[in-house]
Chains A and B, each alone.
Chain A
């Protein structure tokens, strides 16, 4: 199946930054498929999302060898055409349930704005009410008259999902959609999102720093470190046979509900930015001279693409487990 989204060599530089925030990122996303972008704070996850939807300020430089969505070149598309595409075909939801809503307007008025922008108001009114019910907002007609402060964080995120999916987009970019929510509400929202995704054959790009959420949701995962994809592959293979020290380090550091407790967690050291060579070298116990002089290219190894000179050794002899 040909991908609906194809990204090659995406590089994003903020003005006055000495290194790109996103550096040579590439992936394909098939219709109805899910991909996750994981990494620690500042690794460039949100920048990838913003670049794809071209929501970055024009002073930010975005380069790519290819950035195609449903056959359109997203970088070459004129503003108006891009706006229309975004309103109907690409939906986005963000982390902060409160920050994403205007406190001085009703939930209904804000959802209607989205439909108007897509040219689908009032045609999709009934569908909006249906979707609100589906995501668990009872008596939606009455609740649409409420202001955001009358909703809990979880309800705002549900209303956001209904609003994002009512235009029947083919791609949903969700940047930390559940990070501000409690575990029980998070699990509920992820389930709703997954049901609707399957029903609408929606492709999902999930951005998250939470390796549990990614394990639950995504078929394919990209691990980002300082703007570079250090490892990518099918989620199951990546979690089971991580070949990059950074992937291993992230997985090993997560406290769990099973297994030993009250023992030291394997914790990667912190590092400094490096110029040239492997981006991870300053934190990597396995680093050698080669790592400091030459940047490792991504190679396919046991099902994942891994950018480490010594991935075979690292996989055989995990650095952190």
Chain B
């Protein structure tokens, strides 16, 4: 995948919100690349800036600094005028499937709407395209006549995905798209995303706070903490050989459904207010030194293989893991 030219590139993005007297650096420095057909997973705790990244990519927010390029062209340029081509090429799926739909419109209408707006189909062609989209997400065509409150949460999320696929996007931005669903429905929707990647070669920026979900779907992943990327790389490298203490803590905190194989959590200090200088993770990090508290670590390669693109932002990536990621208890 690395040989193709990037579909989407984010370079040193920054976004600060001001809420009253406070300024929140929601995104402090984020760079990432998505290749055509690739699923890039984005994990991080609540408030780490994941949705802000999604909104920047969707053009719903403008960055304070940095640049987004789609197929090599700056987003700012693509969004001048109607931005119609970009807005049909990049589609979103959000967390609450029922709320995302218009409660007064039928499911079929919601799926047809983008096709009508973009004048992509009408009449009989429109009806058959809607039926085809329902089929692609494994929904019965009869559901087209129902209203959002008349279908289950899982069906509603399938309908949202069908709507997102209507204009044959090259990128889906999925922000916590499976987080509110029961495990069996979550598994079905995750399977659907994999099928879409395989069948339609759709790339995805797949955002979730749940590490196992991201590991299952993503080809490569990005870990955010307090607005910055702290680790990124191929999914196997990040999950099996994590190098940043936050990633290690996250892995040790993820509880598998198996009483006999519970992780031993690496030690951590209890959270305090976020520092404004140095490593933002330092107050929780048992490895923190004076340098960590004064100098902000930069993202640098940690992969053993040259060009593996595994990088972490930590001064002490040479320290071996403090606990085996997963061990019998």
Q: Which residue of A lies closest to B251 (CB)?
A: A257
Task: Give min CB distance, A214 to chain B, whole Å.
Answer: 8
Residues on A with C-beta less than 8 A from B268 are 184, 188
> CA–CA, A257 to B256, complex, Å?
8
Determine if A267 and B188 form an interchain contact, defined as CB atoms under 8 angstroms apart.
yes
Report whether A182 and B182 are in contact in the complex, using a CB–CB cutoff of 8 Å. no
In the complex, which residues of chain B have a beta carbon less than 8 angstroms from the beta carbon of A186? 253, 255
Interface size class of A (residues with CB under 8 A): 35 or more
Is the beta-carbon distance between B253 and A136 smaller than 8 angstroms? no
Contact between chains at A187 and B256 (CB < 8 Å): no
Q: Decide: A264 near B194, CB < 8 A? Known: A182-B45, A182-B209, A270-B152.
A: yes
Q: Is the CB of B211 within 8 A of A40?
A: no
Q: Say yes or no: A257-B211 contact (C-beta < 8 A), given A153-B46, A187-B252, A187-B253.
A: yes
The distance from the CB of B269 to the nearest CB of chain A, in whole angstroms, is 10
A157–chain B nearest beta-carbon distance, Å: 12
How far in angstroms is the closest Cβ of chain B from A264? 5
Within 8 A of B (CB), among A68-103: none
Given contacts A251-B257, A255-B215, A152 and B265 within 8 Å (CB-CB): no
Interface string of B169-189 (1 = CB under 8 A from A): 000000000000011111110
| Nearest neighbor of A182 in chain B, beta-carbon distance | B45
Task: Assess whether A56 is interfacial by the CB under 8 Å rule.
Answer: no
Distance between Cα atoms of A250 and B249 in the complex (Å): 26
Cβ contact within 8 Å between A40 and B182: yes
Q: In angstroms, how far is the closest chain A Cβ from the Cβ of B264? A: 11
Instruction: Pick the interface stretch among A3-11, A15-23, A232-240, A291-299.
Output: A232-240
| Set of chain A residues within 8 Å of B194, measured between Cβ atoms | 262-264
Please report the number of residue pairs spanning A and B whose Cβ atoms sit closer than 8 angstroms.
127
> Which one of B217, B254, B325 contacts A212 once the chains associate, using CB atoms below 8 Å?
B254
Q: How far is the CB of B37 from chain A (nearest CB, A)?
A: 13
Q: Give the residue of A40, A152, A185, A264 whose beta carbon is less than 8 angstroms from that of B183.
A: A40
Question: Are B184 and A267 in contact, with the CB atoms below 8 A?
Answer: yes
Once the chains bind, are B255 and A270 in contact (CB under 8 Å)?
Answer: no
B290-329 near A? 1/0 per residue, CB < 8 Å: 0000000000000000000000000000000000011000
When the two chains form their complex, are residues B250 and A255 in contact, meaning their CB atoms are under 8 A apart? no
Cβ-based interface call for A25 (8 A): no
Contacts of B213 in A (CB 8 A): 255
Q: Is the CB of A183 within 8 A of B253?
A: yes
- Which residues of the other chain, B, contact A184 by a CB distance below 8 angstroms? 45, 246, 249-250, 253, 268
- Contacting residues of chain A (245-268) with chain B, CB-CB under 8 angstroms: 249-251, 253-258, 261-268
* A265 in contact with B187 (CB, 8 Å): yes
- CB-defined contacts of A263 to chain B, threshold 8 Å: 194
Ranked nearest first, the 10 interchain pairs of A and B with the lowest CB-CB distance are: A212-B255, A211-B257, A267-B187, A187-B253, A253-B187, A265-B187, A182-B45, A40-B182, A255-B216, A255-B212
* Selected A-B contacts with CB under 8 Å, 18 pairs: A40-B183, A40-B184, A183-B210, A183-B253, A216-B255, A235-B259, A236-B260, A239-B258, A239-B260, A251-B257, A255-B210, A257-B256, A261-B235, A262-B217, A263-B194, A267-B187, A267-B188, A270-B154
